[in-house]
Chain A
Amino acid sequence: MAHKKHKHTHKEQPALEQKLDQLVTSSVTRAQNFWQRNKLIIRAWTVFALMIGALTTLLLLLNLYTNFDEWLNSTTAAMLAGALWLLGAGGQTAGTVVTSKIFSAEIITECTAIFPIMIFLAAIVAYPSGWKKKLWGIVLGVPAILFVNLIRLVSLFYIGYWFPSVFETAHLLVWQSLIIFFAVLFWLVWVELFVHRGQVQHA
C-alpha cells in the first residue's frame, strides 16, 4: 500500500512541477502584459501622488519659514475687496478681513485657491506630455482657477447677504466641491486642447 502510494507521488511530481511552472510563467506574462498596457497610467498616478506630497511639504515649509500663509490670505482678501468694489458693494480690507456693505468675512487658507491649484499642478506635471505643453497649461490654468475662486468668494458674499441660512451649506458643501471640479475640468480641457490635439489615438 505504502509502495503504491510512493509510486503514485513519483508519477504526480513532474505533472505538479509542470503545472506550477505554467502557473508562474502565465502569472509573470500576465503581470508583464498588465505593466505594458498600463505603465503610462501607473507612472502618471505615482507622479501625481508624489507631487501632492511634495507640494504639501513645500507649503508647510513656506508657512514655517516665511509669511506665505498671511501673504496668500491678504492677497486673496484684496482681490475679493476689489471685485466687490467693482460690483458696487464697497469692498474694503483690513489684513485678511474683508468688509463690505453686504457681508463681512475673514479669509483663511481654505478660502484661497491654493489647494485647487496644487491639485491642478500635480495633475499637469503627472500627465505625460512635453514641458512646453505643461507650461502652457500652468500659465492658462492657474489664472482660470484664481478667477473661478474669486467668483466663488463673491457669490458667497451675496449668498451670505441674501440667503444667510444656506451660507454654510453653500460654503462648505457646494463651492468647496465645485472649485475642485473646475480644477479637474481645466485639466481635462488642457489634455484635449494641448496634449491630444492632432494626435491619433489607437484603441
Chain B
Amino acid sequence: MRLNARELLVFSAMFILVFLVLALIWPVFAPIYNAITVALANVLFPLVEEPDITMLKPEGNSVAIYVVDPSKGPLLFAYLDYPHSGLIILLALLLATPRLTWKRCLMIILLGMGLLIVVHSISLIAKTRFEYVNIFGNELPVPDSVYLRYAWLGRALVIISLVAPFVLWALLTFRYWFPKPVASTPAPPPRKRKHAKGVRP
C-alpha cells in the first residue's frame, strides 16, 4: 500500500492538529504519566545501583532527582525537564494514521503507550546516571573510558528520546500504510509466445 500526495497532506495536517490539541491538555496528563514512569524507574533503579542511592520524584512537567544520604535524607540533585514529551507525539501520530480502524487504533495506542512507558522509565535511569557523570566528572576520579561511554550515551539518549515515538509508531503501524520497501529484482525475461498447432512461427 502506498500514500499519495493528498494522503500525506491530510496526515500531516491531522498530526499537527491533534498534536496541538494534546499539547494544550498535556499539563493535565503530564503529572499522571510522570508518576507512572517515575514509579517504574524507582523499581528498576536497584538493578543498576549498588547501593541504591537515587530517588526520582515527579514534579509537574519535570522529574526531580534526589540523592539519598543516610545521615541527611534525600537531597535534591537535579531536574529533568519535559522528559516525556514523546507521549503526545505517539498519540498524535497514531490518531492521524490513515487506514486504521478505531478498534485497531485503540489497541495500538494501548500497546504503544505501554512500550513507551518502558522506554521512558529506562531512559530516566540512563539520563540520571549520565547527570551524575556529567556533574561529578570533574570532581571524582572517573576513568576516561567511563566518561567517554557516558558522553556517547548522553548524545545517544537525546536521539533515542526524540526518535522513540516515531520508531514505535512506524513499528506498530507499518503494515497498514507505511511505504513498503521494494526489492530491486531484475525484470523477468519476456515470455515466449506459444504458437498454435500447425501455425508456423
Residues on A facing B (Cβ under 8 Å): 40-41, 44-45, 52-53, 56-57, 59-60, 110, 115-116, 118-119, 127-128, 130, 168-169, 172-174, 176-178, 180-181, 184-185, 188-189, 191-192, 195-196, 199, 201, 203
Query: Does B162 lie within 8 Å of A59, measured CB to CB?
Result: no
Question: Distance in Å from the Cβ of A178 to the closest Cβ of chain B?
Answer: 7
A201 touches B180 (CB 8 A): yes
Is the CB of B159 closer than 8 A to any CB of chain A? yes
Residues of A close to B151: CB separation below 8 A: 60
- Known A-B contacts A56-B156, A173-B23; the reply to A189 vs B8 at CB < 8 A is yes
Contact yes or no, B89 A192, CB < 8 A: no
| Residues from chain B with Cβ under 8 Å of A56 in the complex | 152, 155-156, 159
The B152-196 residues at the A interface (CB cut-off 8 A) are: 152, 155-156, 158-159, 162-163, 166, 171, 174, 179-184
A184-B166 in contact (CB<8A) = yes
Evaluate whether A59 and B155 lie within 8 angstroms (CB atoms) in the complex, with A44-B181, A199-B182, A201-B182 already known. yes
Chain B residues engaging chain A, CB cutoff 8 angstroms: 1-5, 8, 12, 15-16, 19-20, 23, 26, 61, 81-82, 85-86, 88-89, 148, 151-152, 155-156, 158-159, 162-163, 166, 171, 174, 179-184
- Taking a contact as CB atoms under 8 Å apart, the answer to whether A201 and B162 are in contact is no
Q: How far is the CA of A35 from the CA of B64 in the complex (A)?
A: 44
Q: Which of A110, A168, A178, A192 contacts B19 (CB 8 A)?
A: A178
- B162 with A119: CB separation less than 8 A: yes
At the interface, is chain A mostly helix, strand, loop or mixed? helix
A134→B16 CA distance, assembly (Å): 27
Q: Nearest chain A CB to B165's CB is how many angstroms away?
A: 8
Q: B2, B182, B184: which contacts A192 (Cβ < 8 A)?
A: B2
List 11 other contacts, CB 8 Å, given A191-B179, A201-B180: A40-B181, A60-B155, A118-B159, A127-B181, A173-B82, A174-B19, A177-B19, A177-B85, A181-B166, A184-B166, A192-B4
Bound CA–CA A96/B12 (angstroms) = 33
Which of these, A173, A180, A191, contacts B166 with CB under 8 Å?
A: A180
CB–CB A52/B159 < 8 A: yes
A181 touches B15 (CB 8 A): yes
**A158–chain B nearest beta-carbon distance, Å:** 17
Neighbouring A residues of B81 by C-beta, 8 Å? 168, 172
A174 to B82, CA, bound (A): 11
